Structure 1
Amino acid sequence: MTFHWKTALAVASAALGLFACGGGGMSGTGASASGAMHLSLTDAPACGYDNVYLTVERIRVNKSDTAVDGDNTWSEVVLNPAKRIDLLTLTNGVLSELGQTTLPTGKYTQMRLVLAPNTGPGANPLANSIKPTGGTEVALSTPSAQQSGLKLNVNMDIAADQVADFAIDFDACKSIVKRGNSGQYNLKPVVTVIPVVSSAGMKVQGYVQGAVALPTTTVSLQLNGVPVKATVPDLNGRFVLYPVPVGNYALVVTAPGHVTGVVTDVPVTATAITTVNTLGTPITPPLATQRAITGTLDPSTATVRALQTLTGGPTVEVAWGLVEVPTVLPAPASFSLSLPIEAPVVAPYVALPASLNFAADSSASVSGKYTLEATSGTSIQPVPINANAIVSPVAFTFP
């Protein structure tokens, strides 16, 4: 199985107080100077699932990005017993503790997340499984994770006598692949490792209007068209994005049947929480007409998304193609997504505003205009489309 990774590679060592944790252990080579690594797990929204369960056995790190499973240079956090987590409970800033271990100082460039195996079709509960909305729980195929672990390329600095704190951020929606009509699902992880350099900031909060306070709504912070952190609003419309690396972002709200809402230049600092708006002034994207976009991806491990560039910038991701891998390989995968025809509404960020000033970006070069971007490995294929008219199926083929 081929894995597609998005990783956030900025890491800072912070003199944080030691966190208590259970089950942490350390193996590998020793060193006279040491620091510590603390880990937690969080999640972005899932689409079409009520539960996504993963059971974590251990997290391994190495200073070499080419180290293999049997090398004696690994250090690890061992969870004893292994921890079964429903990723969909880890939205709106919720973190699940994974543990902490002492490490020799230095730069670590490889992390592996090792999951427990599903012991058989009758196992109860299944170690790794999903429950599609309206369906029954089924096993999630994770062959690589049960052996050498899910590999993440990272850039972690461990300093002497300090704790480096990291959140492993799964994107459950993008990480689950349906295998045709077989009723089976594969784990194809999209994961970000985010440094947590402060408990006082790195957080953005606000509200969406009640009509879009639904599990199908996504609120994300994006940089150059790449979501850095995403969540779903709660039943009151409140959203919390945490942890988020320090920087300036576009806050993007997407909800089926509504136009895309964008707040530009949202600042994130390490010292304070960023409040976009209040319950009395919620983000309210207007209704929209949706256009269905379909196509194929060859190889089936490729991914596809829809980007839209606002007048004067930025570019934002509006949708991710839901990919269905054929039951029998090799064969192209199919994808589908739904895009609003009407123009997105945009407002500049203002600190503690009485209300956000949204206006439609109705430029002829924006309304209904998107770029489909397919990715396979390091290769990217962009295809411009105009959703104001019916779009023929788009076929992406990579050498």
Structure 2
Amino acid sequence: MSVLSLTSAPMRVLALSGALALAACGGGGGDDGGGQGTLKVSMTDAPACGFNNVFVTVNKVRVHSSASAETSAGGWVDIDVVPARKIDLLSLTNGVMTVLGQAALPAGNYQQVRLVLDANRGGGAGALANSVVPIGGTEQTLDTPSAVQSGIKINRPFTVEKGTLTDLVLDFDACKSVVTRGNGTFGLKPVVTAIPTTVSGEVTGAVSGAPGARVYAERNGVVVKATVADANGNFKLSPIEQSSTAGPVDVVVVPGAANGKATGIVRGVPVIVGTPTPISNGPITLPASAYRRVSGTVAPASAEATVRALQLVQGGTFEIASTAAASDTGAYSLFATEPALPAAAPVSGNYQGGAAVTLQPDAAAAGKYTVQATSSTSAQPVSQPADVGAGDALVNLSF
């Protein structure tokens, strides 16, 4: 699933629910003379790092047949959320979605979705439309200027068929979307994707003794879906897009410092439309590990970079943690409230058709990471090595 950076650190997912078919990536209007269909809109989220709550208040979803249409253009179809709904994105994990609304619209090909939020109007923290609650802290304003003015823009072709209900899932990655600024305030730099439910599947599993573990479905080191394990270590990665070219996913489990266990990776897990795929016939067990923190700055701060910690394990590259650099200072930390990176050797194994997976350690990878920064203002990412085998690491990057 492709990720589009918009104005995200921790947040979760949006879903548009119904029977949706992808359109070809060419042109096409909203009304092809084929009558009307119905678009149903839902919402879901990925894990958020460092927050107890991430609230957004949704008042409208808009769709258009042109990927380049501006908000002032004609041809928009609006799905109003009445009354506007304040949603805690961190409650939308493990396949949980919330329906925002639905509307009839001309059958045809559509290319663009915009999610419009309410503005903060003051009146005390409890009255904030969009806000965050840092771990151990109190509710703070979340600044969302473009999301309020023009809406969060997601480009994704989809087709609304005549006489059908179309389902489209918008995935909000909170961990890459909430920016902590140097002055202690918070801003929204949304990272959102859209997934049709008619071409999606789910992957399930469990990890022993690791409630709250971060779990990623990745393709070629890029996270396509993320969640957190529940109190019993169970997790569901849903929805994950399936196609003839997308292929299987690698499931990466990072238990977190509170659980003190190493990273576990199950490679080559198939994604089947409409059918859950268990990664194993029982919970996977991971060895013990200390956790370390990587922090530093990304210059210039105006790059508004996304920072990822990547690890080379048995010849494959995997994302282990990510965050957003502060937009005013360029500072970042993986993570500020709890160290994000295991120091012990990761363990990995190949999917065995749902049978038990044998996980083998990669001693050469223990504590070794690549810290990579990407920005919409630069065509190429920048990266530096980081070794947390003996302690925390300071890594500065510059475009």
TM-score by length of 1: 0.84
Is 1:204 aligned to residue 207 of structure 2? no
For residues 39-67 of structure 1, the C-alpha deviation after alignment (integer angstroms, 9 at most, x for no partner) is 21001111221111111111111122221
1:323–1:336 Cα contact (<8 Å) kept? no
* Change beyond 3 A, Cα 1:322–1:79: closer
* Change beyond 3 A, Cα 1:163–1:186: same
**How much has 1:30 moved relative to structure 2?**
5.8
Partner of residue 142, structure 2:
140
Distance (whole Å) between structure 2 residues aligned to residue 288 and residue 383 of structure 1: 23
Distance (whole Å) between structure 1 residues aligned to residue 144 and residue 69 of structure 2: 21
1:385–1:391 Cα contact (<8 Å) kept? no
Partner of residue 292, structure 1:
293
For residues 274-307 of structure 1, the C-alpha deviation after alignment (integer angstroms, 9 at most, x for no partner) is 11235xx312221113333222112331111011
**How much has 1:108 moved relative to structure 2?**
2.0
* Change beyond 3 A, Cα 1:307–1:119: same
Distance (whole Å) between structure 2 residues aligned to residue 264 and residue 322 of structure 1: 27
1:225–1:317 Cα contact (<8 Å) kept? yes
Identity %: 43
**How much has 1:116 moved relative to structure 2?**
0.8
Partner of residue 335, structure 1:
333
For residues 52-98 of structure 1, the C-alpha deviation after alignment (integer angstroms, 9 at most, x for no partner) is 11111111111222211111111121111112111111101101001
1:3 partner letter = T
Query: What residue ranges of structure 2 are gaps of 5+ in the alignment?
Result: 22-28
Aligned residues: 367
SS of residue matched to 2:81:
strand
SS of residue matched to 2:175:
helix
- 1:1-150 matches, cutoff 5 A: 3=7, 14=19, 32-33=33-34, 34-122=36-124, 124-150=126-152
1:60 partner letter = R
1:255 partner letter = P
Distance (whole Å) between structure 2 residues aligned to residue 99 and residue 325 of structure 1: 33
Query: What residue ranges of structure 1 are gaps of 5+ in the alignment?
Result: 17-27
* Change beyond 3 A, Cα 1:83–1:4: closer
SS of residue matched to 1:144:
helix
**How much has 1:128 moved relative to structure 2?**
1.0
Is 1:251 aligned to residue 251 of structure 2? yes
Is 1:166 aligned to residue 168 of structure 2? yes
* Change beyond 3 A, Cα 1:29–1:206: closer
2:182 partner letter = G
Distance (whole Å) between structure 2 residues aligned to residue 189 and residue 35 of structure 1: 29
Partner of residue 26, structure 2:
none
Aligned-residue CA RMSD in angstroms?
2.8
Distance (whole Å) between structure 1 residues aligned to residue 125 and residue 322 of structure 2: 33
Is 1:307 aligned to residue 307 of structure 2? no
Distance (whole Å) between structure 2 residues aligned to residue 344 and residue 123 of structure 1: 42
SS of residue matched to 1:244:
strand
TM-score by length of 2: 0.84
Partner of residue 19, structure 1:
none
Distance (whole Å) between structure 1 residues aligned to residue 233 and residue 334 of structure 2: 27
**How much has 1:325 moved relative to structure 2?**
4.2
Distance (whole Å) between structure 1 residues aligned to residue 324 and residue 33 of structure 2: 49
**How much has 1:124 moved relative to structure 2?**
4.2
For residues 211-258 of structure 1, the C-alpha deviation after alignment (integer angstroms, 9 at most, x for no partner) is x113xx201111111111111111111111111112410000012232
Please identify runs of 4+ aligned residues in structure 1 that moved more than 6 A. none
